[in-house]
Amino acid sequence: MGMLLLLSAWLQRQFGSAGVLLASAAVALAELHAAAASVAQLAADSQLHPGTASWGLLLLLLVSALAKSVLAFVSGGLNFGLRVTAGLLLMATAAGLTLLMQSRSVA
């Protein structure tokens, strides 16, 4: 976790918010919670804009859903993979729509 925070801080200095989100997305393939905690900590420390952090968390959710969907297809076959993927996509869509509605109400 500490290494992830250091890497994210370095990437932010080098590439801005995009670097942080890319590093977090890569981590989310294996461990969503650590990546989300990293983004949340950077936002809490005012190193990442809250709006960027919110969209970044959605990106992490999508990356994690993709990884889990692939695993579902590989381990459970077509029918299982389709059911798992449908549920994960519904979850991510609901989160995205909620975030979109919140961002429009603020603007």
The letter for the amino acid at 15 is F
Joined tokens for residue 10: 């370095």
C-alpha torsion sign, points 21, 9, 98, 73: positive
- Using one digit for the tens of pLDDT, what is the confidence trace for 34-67? 788 888 888 999 988 999 999 999 998 998 899 8
- Evaluate whether 60 touches 35 at the Cβ level (below 8 Å): yes
Q: Find the mean pLDDT for residues 73-102.
A: 96
The letter for the amino acid at 50 is P
- Evaluate whether 24 touches 13 at the Cβ level (below 8 Å): no
The residues, ordered by sequence, that sit 6+ positions from 3 with a Cβ below 8 Å of its Cβ are none
Asked if residue 2 has pLDDT above 90, the reply is no
